[in-house]
């Protein structure tokens, strides 16, 4: 573009009024490399300040652009402006050499071709006519279960035959679900490198494989893209121990297998059944006899878990036989589980019942006894400590009460029991009388003896003092016995 050519209406694009540009003393701030535009503030437009050569400014970089800032005052405002330069076909192709010398043999056949070398065009007249192409039509990858989130599980790669920006490829994980869950919760794809990362830890027993699609998109306008399918296989690890299905181990009842004393060699006693939820060799199980009451009497099949007799059962063999069988898988390292098998060598059920009672209750009894002993010790200790705390608290309380009593300076106010008469003689009855009733056994009449009044002490309190005086009132009246059974008369 020539100098003075219109670039754009900056006031309109930024939503500003030309009066604001004038009052704010609008100006642009730029460096020398991008000093290609000027601001006409009264019109709010940008114009070409000097001739712009895309190839000189950006070379082969695409897209080509330069940026600057526009500043306004009162109040201070700052706007960033970017101008993109579009390429035009203003350069002719040129050869690197102006003169090329070819040596052609006289025996050259008709139609033979000779390389002249490549011509170079300074314009990036490239058209985005090639989509990215993956180097594989389908990708597969494997990851061991119990992996750490974020670990790399594979990568993909695509190439674009176009030039510059049109050849720039980015990778996008397409939307999808795995077992009803968004695939983005399983994996992520690096948009630049195409490396695939696990988002979660995988469990082979829950999911053995899954697949998703990834899109490769170039940077052209409009962009072109292609897709590819990626399948992830989860590798099993030996993370599960064998599970015993039979015999069932319960703490409530005891299961015992009966073997008659007439059993011959190879008699099938029972079979230990176990499974392993792992796969492959991790699920291969082997059975071994770990402990036995009589190891010479029984054996366990290595592959099938069958327990059989090794010899003829005799009367000398104990009725109670206990075998401990271990089940191991073939993983590295291997995992195992053990099971106890109770065997009764007897011909009748009552004999088995009497002999095996101890098997069921001995352990439970010992466990319960220990529990109750510990519980009793804890209760006694608690009661002892509690009693000790209560006794100490009571003694401390009484000690504090006694100190408070002796240290108090308050006057003592006497208490008058109800049977004391007042000293002023204003009461209606100044003496306290005791009556003794004598009942006859041969009549309904009662003989009462009127006794003399009891001696009493009268307390007198001086209102102005806390001192007390005691006065003794002597009795002066004599009472005579009365034979009257109808009434009793006091005499004063």
Each residue of 387-419: pLDDT tens digit? 999 999 999 888 888 777 666 555 545 544 554
DSSP-derived 3-state class of residue 400: helix
Each residue of 17-66: pLDDT tens digit? 989 999 999 998 876 656 788 899 889 999 988 888 877 777 767 678 88
Match 């069988």 to its residue by tokens: 325
Match 């050869």 to its residue by tokens: 95
Name the pLDDT band for 208 (thresholds 50, 70, 90): very high
Q: Answer whether 456's CB lies under 8 Å from 421's CB.
A: yes
Q: What is the DSSP secondary structure assignment for residue 165, as one 8-state letter?
A: G
Name the pLDDT band for 302 (thresholds 50, 70, 90): very high
Residue 360 has pLDDT above 70, yes or no: no
Report strand pairing: 177-178 vs 169-173: unpaired
Lowest mean pLDDT across 110-124, 239-253, 320-334, 469-483? 469-483
Instruction: Give the C-alpha separation, 173 to 211, whole Å.
Output: 12
For 420, the token pair is 């004391």
Q: What is the DSSP secondary structure assignment for residue 359, as one 8-state letter?
A: H
For 227, the token pair is 């897709």
Q: What is the DSSP secondary structure assignment for residue 86, as one 8-state letter?
A: P
H-helix segments, 292-348: none
CB burial of 275-300 (b: ≥16 within 10 Å; e: otherwise) equals: ebebeeebbebbbeeeebbeeebbbb
Name the pLDDT band for 88 (thresholds 50, 70, 90): confident
Match 């991790």 to its residue by tokens: 282
Q: Which of 244, 225, 233, 156 is nearest to 194 (CA)?
A: 156
Instruction: Give the C-alpha separation, 326 to 343, whole Å.
Output: 16
More confident residue, 101 or 59: 101
What is the side-by-side order of every strand in the sheet holding 256-259? 256-259, 336-345, 320-329, 285-292
Over range 172-191, report the average pLDDT.
94
Share of the chain above pLDDT 70, in %: 74
Residue 449: its pLDDT value, please?
45
Residue 162: its pLDDT value, please?
86
Q: What is the DSSP secondary structure assignment for residue 474, as one 8-state letter?
A: P
Residue 182: its pLDDT value, please?
94
Q: Answer whether 243's CB lies under 8 Å from 275's CB.
A: yes
For residue 450, report the phi and psi dihedrals to the nearest 5 degrees: -90, 110
Instruction: Give the C-alpha separation, 426 to 421, whole Å.
Output: 9
- Chain mean pLDDT for the chain: 79
Instruction: Give the C-alpha separation, 111 to 134, whole Å.
Output: 36
Q: Which of 476, 431, 477, 426 is nearest to 454 (CA)?
A: 431
Each residue of 241-256: pLDDT tens digit? 999 999 987 655 567 8
Reported pTM = 0.45
Residue 160 has pLDDT above 80, yes or no: yes
Beta bridge partners of 64: 85
Residue 276 has pLDDT above 80, yes or no: yes
Residue 122 has pLDDT above 70, yes or no: no
* Other Cβ atoms within 10 Å of 66 Cβ, number: 19
Over range 315-331, report the average pLDDT.
92
């Amino acid at each position: 573009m020539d100098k003075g050519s219109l670039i754009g209406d900056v006031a309109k694009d930024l939503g500003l009024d030309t009066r604001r540009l004038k009052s704010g003393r609008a100006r642009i701030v730029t460096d020398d490399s991008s000093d290609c535009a000027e601001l006409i503030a009264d019109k709010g437009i940008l114009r070409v300040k000097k001739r712009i050569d895309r190839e000189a400014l950006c070379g082969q970089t695409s897209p080509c652009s330069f940026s600057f800032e526009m500043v306004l005052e009162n109040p201070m405002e700052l706007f960033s402006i970017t101008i993109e330069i579009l390429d035009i076909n203003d350069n002719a192709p040129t050869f690197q050499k102006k003169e090329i010398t070819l040596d052609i043999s006289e025996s050259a056949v008709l139609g033979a071709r000779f390389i002249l070398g490549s011509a170079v065009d300074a314009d990036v007249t490239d058209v985005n006519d090639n989509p990215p192409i993956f180097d594989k039509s389908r990708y597969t990858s494997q990851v061991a279960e119990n992996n750490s989130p974020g670990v790399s599980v594979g990568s993909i790669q695509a190439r674009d035959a176009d030039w510059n920006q049109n050849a720039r490829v980015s990778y996008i994980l397409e939307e999808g679900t795995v077992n009803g869950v968004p695939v983005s919760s399983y994996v992520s794809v690096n948009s630049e490198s195409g490396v695939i990362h696990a988002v979660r830890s995988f469990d082979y027993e829950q999911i053995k494989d899954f697949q998703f699609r990834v899109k490769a998109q170039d940077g052209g306008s409009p962009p072109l893209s292609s897709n590819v399918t990626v399948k992830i296989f989860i590798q099993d690890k030996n993370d599960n121990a064998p599970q015993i299905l039979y015999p069932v181990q319960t703490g409530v009842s005891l299961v015992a297998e009966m073997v008659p004393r007439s059993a011959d060699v190879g008699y099938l006693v029972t079979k230990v059944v176990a499974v392993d939820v792992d796969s492959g060799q991790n699920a291969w199980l082997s059975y071994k006899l770990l402990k036995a009451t009589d190891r010479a009497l029984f054996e366990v099949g290595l592959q099938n878990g069958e327990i059989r007799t090794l010899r003829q059962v005799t009367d000398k063999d104990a009725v109670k036989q206990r075998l401990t069988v271990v089940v191991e898988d073939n993983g590295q390292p291997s995992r195992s589980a053990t099971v106890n098998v109770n065997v009764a060598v007897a011909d009748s059920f009552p004999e088995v019942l009497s002999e095996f009672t101890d098997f069921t209750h001995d352990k439970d009894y010992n466990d319960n006894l220990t529990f109750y002993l510990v519980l009793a010790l804890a209760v006694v200790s608690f009661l002892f400590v509690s009693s000790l705390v209560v006794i100490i608290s009571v003694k401390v309380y009484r000690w504090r009460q006694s100190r408070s009593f002796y240290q108090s300076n308050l006057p003592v106010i006497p208490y008058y029991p109800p049977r004391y008469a007042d000293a002023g003689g204003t009461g209606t009855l100044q003496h306290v009388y005791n009556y003794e009733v004598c009942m006859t056994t041969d009549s309904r009449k009662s003989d009462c003896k009127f006794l003399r009044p009891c001696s009493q002490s009268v307390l007198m309190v001086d209102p102005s003092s806390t001192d007390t005086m005691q006065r003794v009132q002597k009795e002066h009246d004599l009472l005579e016995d009365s034979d009257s059974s109808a009434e009793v008369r006091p005499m004063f």
